[in-house]
Amino acid sequence: QVQLVESGGGLVQPGGSLRLSCAASEFTLDYYAIGWFRQAPGKEREGVSCISSSGGSTTYASSVKGRFTISRDNANNTVYLQMNSLKPEDTAVYYCATSLSSASCSSSGWYSYGSWGQGTQVTVSS
């Protein structure tokens, strides 16, 4: 089964920034809408953002709107999540996944996504 690979996580202080990357080498991402999710210890996995296959449409959870920006570079087969003004409550493992609805961001639920990466840890702490 093909998988996505997330990278770019780390430890940052509140107010800091990170850019997460989501890449696939075994298939072409430009056919799919890509979602970013996060899961903190003891919490359910929640949708953070999604970008359509063309990059023309994006969605954000209310908790990150205005701070996070999703983008994609289909030529490099990569989707990004720029995370600014990070807060301690952003601490989680972040995952990317392909949408089962193919090109569209039709749902924020994890069950609407197919291929997943292994996750990358983001920790926001002083």
Asked whether residue 1 carries a pLDDT value surpassing 80, the answer given is no
The answer to whether 105 and 52 are in contact (CB under 8 A) is yes
Output the pLDDT for position 3: 79
The dihedral sign for the CA sequence 20, 102, 40, 83 = positive
Question: Given the DSSP bridges, would you call strands 68-73 and 58-60 parallel, antiparallel or unpaired?
Answer: unpaired
Report in angstroms the alpha-carbon separations of 23 from 40, 58, 67, 78. Answer: 22, 18, 22, 5
Query: Could you give the percent of the chain with pLDDT greater than 70?
Result: 98
Token pair recorded at residue 102: 């193919």
* Cα angle 38-74-7, degrees, rounded to a multiple of 5: 35
pLDDT in tens, 54-94: 999 999 999 999 999 999 998 888 999 999 999 999 999 99
